[in-house]
Amino acid sequence: MQIESEKTIYRKLNPEDLNIFVTLRLDFLNELQKFTDEKKRELIIDSLKKYFSKHIDNNEFIGIICEYGGCVISTAYLIINEWPANGTFVNGKVGTLLNVYTYPEYRKNGISTNIIKMIIEEARKQNVSIIDLLATESGEKVYKKLGFMETEDKSMRLKL
C-alpha cells in the first residue's frame, strides 16, 4: 500500500502507551514465531508489561512509532545499557536496536528508515557510543543504508 507521507505521524512512546508497546512486540514476535501456546503467550504479555513499566521512565528503553490514519503501523525499540568502557565505546553507553517492525501492508514506504533515524537521534542525545542489532535478511539493506556495518565479533549464546 502506498501511503501519503504527509499523513504520517512519528513520535516517541511514553509510559501511557504501555499497551501499544506490548501489542507491537507481540505482533513482531508472532510474525517471527507464530504463537500456538496460549499459556506461553500470556506469560510473555505479563513479562512485557513488567519490563516496559520498569524501563520506559528511566530512559533505558526508547520506542518510536509511526501512526497513519489513526493507527500505529510501525515501530522500533532501543535498549540503552551501560558497560565498562573500552576503545569502541569510551563512555560505556551501548544501544541495542530491536523490534524494527512495520505491518506488511505498509512496507516499502521508507517508514522503518525514518523510525531508525529517530532512534539514532535519541541515542545521540543520550551519548550512546554504538548501536548493535541482529538483522533479518529483509532489514539488512535498510541498516546498511543508514551506516550500520557487520562486525567481526562472532555472536554466541548459552540458553539457560
Residue pLDDT, tens place only, 51-99 = 888 888 777 899 999 999 999 999 999 999 999 988 888 888 999 999 9
Domain around 111: 5-145
- Nearest in space to 97 (alpha carbons), one of 148, 141, 145: 148
7 Cβ contact partners less than 8 Å away, ≥ 6 residues apart:
68, 69
154 occurs within a structural domain: no
The answer to the question of residue 150 being in a domain is no
pLDDT, tens only, 94-149: 999 999 999 999 999 999 999 999 999 999 999 999 999 988 888 889 999 999 99
On the question of pLDDT at 155 being above 80, the answer is no
Read off the pLDDT of each residue in 152-160 and give the average, rounded to a whole number.
82
Rounded distance, CA 78 to CA 97, Å? 5
Calculate mean pLDDT across residues 41-46: 92
Rounded CA-CA distance 60/51 in Å is: 11
Domain assignment of residue 156, yes or no: no
Residue 98 lies in a domain: yes
Do 79 and 61 form a contact (C-beta atoms < 8 A)?
yes
159 is a domain residue: no
| Residues 6-23: tens digit of each pLDDT | 899 999 988 888 899 899
SS3 116: helix
CATH assignment of the domain containing 107? 3.40.630.30
Closest CA to 100 of 81, 68, 77: 77
Domain count, the chain: 1
Nine-digit cell string for 137: 535478511
| Residue 57 covered by a domain | yes
